[in-house]
Amino acid sequence: MAKKIPLQPEDFELETNTVWAFPNRGKWATHDAKYRGNWSPYIPRNVILRYSVEGDTVLDQFVGGGTTAVEAKLTNRNFIGIDINPDALKITKSKLDFECEFNTSIDIMQGDARSLSTIADGSIDLICTHPPYADIIHYSENIDGDLSLMPMKEYLFEIGKVAEECYRVLKKDKFCAILMGDTRKKGMVQPLAFETMRIFEMAGFKTKEIIIKEQHNCKATGYWKTNSIKFNFLLLAHEYLFVFRK
């Protein structure tokens, strides 16, 4: 008989240092790896439990396939989820379609992370989000404002607007956690993550933590392994989780 999928993770422990690795990405409630580039549910769970309390309001303005939304529901937080792509919102809503012991308020809506016009100043307790990494993965073909269609220079300019909106909607002394990865061009690393960190600092945030998140889905075999040796570059196998405080 197939094992029943649990609603909550079994044997969950909070991360305690600055290197996070989740070789088993996490399979509880409605989570799966189908939404391209979605994050392991262990990441929002750690962020939510460490930087908010029950009844708080959590925002993910790049909600994608809804991983953060599901974790907010399971940890008794109110939640606002936004994405520019209506297809993502449909997936998020379907992921939230399960019963649990909490009765939280959950709003899922279409919008643009650069202009969160429906959210009042200083109204959010925690931002826990995972934007596209410039144009590494395209999340739509031609949606106007989709950051995943923008090359690095344009992307970083637009991320400045995202950072300013994060700062505006967050309550004072509260936290904003962002996962970001780097990219490579003509063999040279493009430090998208550190550039993003500086942009958030310029928007007014203080950097509380820089966490290295190991990537476990990298293709360290075949084509990429051969090329990394032939052209003498290292395969990028980590991302950064920045935790900022307002």
Ligand X SMILES: C[S@@+](CC[C@H](N)C(=O)[O-])C[C@H]1O[C@@H](n2cnc3c(N)ncnc32)[C@H](O)[C@@H]1O
The CA distance from 135 to 114, in Å, is: 17
CA distance 170 to 8: 28
Nearest CA among 125, 206, 132 for reference residue 162: 132
Member of 15, 26, 38, 56 binding ligand X (CB under 6 A): 38
DSSP structural state of residue 4? P
**Cβ atoms of 70 and 49 closer than 8 Å:** no
To the nearest whole angstrom, how small is the minimum distance from the Cβ of residue 229 to ligand X?
29
Residue 79 in contact with ligand X, rule: CB under 6 A: no
**Count, residues near ligand X per rule CB under 6 A:** 26
Least separation, in Å, of the C-beta of 57 and ligand X? 18
Name which position in 26, 81, 132, 181 contacts ligand X (CB under 6 A). Answer: 132
- Stretch binding ligand X (CB under 6 A), from 2-10, 46-54, 99-107, 111-119: 111-119
Nearest to 44 by CA among 22, 23, 198: 22
**DSSP letters spanning 216-229:** S----SHHHHHHHH
Lookup: tokens for 14: 């909070």
CA pair distance 102, 90, nearest whole angstrom: 22
- Nearest CA to 59 out of 124, 132, 147 is that of 124
Quote the crossing angle between the two packed helices 67-74 and 42-51, to the nearest 10°. 50
Of the candidate residues 42, 139, 155, 175, the single one contacting ligand X (CB under 6 A): 139
Contact status: 61 vs ligand X (CB under 6 A):
yes
Nearer to ligand X, 9 or 131 (CB): 131
Shortest separation between residue 131's beta carbon and ligand X, angstroms: 6
Nearer to ligand X among residue 190 and residue 233 (C-beta): 190
Residue 184 CA to residue 193 CA, distance in Å, equals: 12
**CB-based contacts of 238: which residues, under 8 Å, 6+ apart?**
181, 212, 213, 214, 215
Question: Applying CB under 6 A, which of residues 106, 113, 116, 128 lies at the interface with ligand X?
Answer: 113
Give the chain's length: 246
Asked whether position 81 contacts ligand X by CB under 6 A, the answer is no
- Compose the 9-28 pattern: x for residues touching ligand X by CB under 6 A, - for all others: --------------------
Q: Is 39 an interacting residue with respect to ligand X (CB under 6 A)?
A: yes
Q: Rule CB under 6 A: is residue 196 a binding residue for ligand X?
A: no
Q: Does 56 bind ligand X (CB under 6 A)?
A: no
CB of 246 to ligand X, least distance (A): 20
Supply the minimum distance, in Å, between the C-beta of residue 161 and ligand X. 9
Q: Contact positions toward ligand X, by CB under 6 A?
A: 35, 37-39, 61-62, 64-67, 82-85, 88, 112-114, 130-132, 139, 145-148
